[in-house]
């Protein structure tokens, strides 16, 4: 199995080339539209032929995504998209594979499979649409729903503590962990491009509004009047500064992060600086626990490191055995002595 350099398209493509002829069946106003448009705009820029791109999804509103991309696609089983994507990428390492999932599909029934994909570092791009609700089944609470959230399945409030997708991905050993949001098309496209260029599993959480069953769940964080004070935009090497007047920062007080006012006493050099390429995950773990309203919510790349991919390891194993034993014949395997007996 020889991994080839990804071919570049010899034909200049545009966004229209990636728009399928399927009628979009999302509710008007759904945040999924903005995510879809960002991906369709990005595809011509990465320069990969359409026939070498595959979108794989599970079950949920977000999982209709492959129908709307004029590429190859697999609409699979609930929570099982990572298994299909793994088999596809191992068998065809030359393909560019995107996995589309949601907070229910990816973190509930599919949580175990997603965890193993992340720890293996398969060269796949994972987009997790997080709207904190089950939208397709009409409004039940999901793994990321807030504690106390009243839904159709939790009429007295959710007794669960919400799962943190960023911390989940970091704990599983993901080599690229980022977050963006649906009303920031420019920022989304930039993050998606970085994810596409990363070799290994890229995990991107997207805050996505469900205007029918969970409308406004992220409004206190990313609506324009509050955005500057509630979002920490991450830039490698830059200090943690936020606020409408850029007058707030974050520093460490011992081992505890704290928000401070930037003035004559507090210098920028006293603040934490972002290091997305750090070999240690400590800073990324700290950032993953910045939650509204105590801290501004980080947007951007929390962590990005280089590590051998699952495909590279498999390829090396196969090549090693080929050098040792040769290609062999399938008939020798079928007629061999390695069989099970009762």
- What per-residue confidence (pLDDT) applies to 329? 86
pLDDT band at 283 (very low <50, low <70, confident <90, very high): very high
Residue range 48-67: mean pLDDT, rounded: 97
- The pLDDT tens digits for 22-42 are 999 999 999 999 999 999 999
- What per-residue confidence (pLDDT) applies to 2? 44
How far apart, in whole angstroms, are the C-alpha atoms of residue 143 and residue 101?
Answer: 13
How far apart, in whole angstroms, are the C-alpha atoms of residue 340 and residue 342?
Answer: 7
Residue range 129-150: mean pLDDT, rounded: 94
- What per-residue confidence (pLDDT) applies to 8? 67
Residue 73, classed as helix, strand or coil, is strand
User: Which domains are assigned to the chain?
Assistant: 15-238+274-316 (3.40.50.970), 239-273 (no CATH)
Q: Is the pLDDT score of 159 beyond 90?
A: yes
Tell which residue, 8, 55, 52, 49, has the closest CA to residue 35.
55
Q: Is the pLDDT score of 10 beyond 70?
A: no
Residue 127, classed as helix, strand or coil, is strand
As a whole-number percent, the residues of the chain with pLDDT over 90 amount to 87
Cis amide bond preceding 108, omega within 30: no
Q: Is the pLDDT score of 284 beyond 80?
A: yes
**Average pLDDT, whole number, for the chain?**
94
pLDDT band at 266 (very low <50, low <70, confident <90, very high): confident
> 335 vs 15, which has greater pLDDT?
15
- The pLDDT tens digits for 79-105 are 999 999 999 999 999 999 999 999 999
Tell which residue, 232, 251, 240, 318, has the closest CA to residue 274.
240
- What per-residue confidence (pLDDT) applies to 265? 62
User: For the whole model, what pTM was predicted?
Assistant: 0.93
């Amino acid at each position: 199995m020889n991994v080839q350099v990804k071919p570049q398209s010899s034909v200049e493509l545009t966004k229209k080339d990636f728009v399928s002829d399927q009628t979009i069946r999302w509710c008007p106003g759904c945040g999924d539209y903005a995510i879809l448009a960002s991906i369709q705009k990005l595809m011509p820029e990465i320069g990969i032929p359409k026939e070498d791109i595959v979108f794989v999804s599970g079950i949920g509103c977000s999982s209709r995504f492959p129908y709307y991309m004029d590429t190859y696609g697999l609409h699979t089983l609930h929570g099982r998209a990572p298994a299909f994507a793994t088999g596809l990428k191992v068998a065809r390492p030359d393909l560019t594979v995107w996995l589309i999932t949601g907070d229910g599909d990816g973190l509930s029934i599919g949580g175990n499979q997603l965890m193993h994909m992340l720890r293996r570092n398969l060269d796949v791009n994972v987009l997790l649409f997080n709207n904190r609700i089950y939208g397709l089944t009409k409004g039940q609470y999901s793994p990321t729903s807030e504690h106390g959230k009243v839904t159709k399945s939790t009429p007295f409030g959710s007794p669960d503590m919400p799962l943190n997708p960023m911390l989940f991905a970091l704990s599983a050993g993901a080599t690229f962990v980022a977050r963006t949001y649906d009303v920031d098309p420019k920022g989304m496209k930039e993050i998606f491009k970085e994810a596409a260029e990363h070799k290994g599993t890229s995990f991107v959480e997207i805050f996505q509004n469900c205007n029918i069953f969970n409308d406004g769940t992220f409004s206190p964080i990313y609506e324009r009047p509050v955005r500057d004070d509630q979002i920490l935009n991450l830039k490698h090497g830059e200090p943690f500064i936020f606020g409408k007047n850029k007058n707030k920062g974050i520093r460490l007080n011992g081992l505890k992060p704290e928000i401070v006012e930037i003035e004559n006493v507090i210098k920028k050099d006293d603040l934490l600086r972002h290091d997305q390429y750090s070999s240690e995950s400590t800073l990324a773990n700290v950032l993953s626990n910045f939650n509204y309203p105590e801290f501004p919510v980080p947007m951007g790349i929390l962590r990005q490191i280089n590590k051998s991919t699952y495909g590279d390891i498999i390829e090396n194993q196969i090549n090693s055995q080929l050098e040792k034993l040769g290609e062999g014949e399938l008939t020798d395997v079928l007629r061999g002595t390695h069989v099970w007996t009762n």
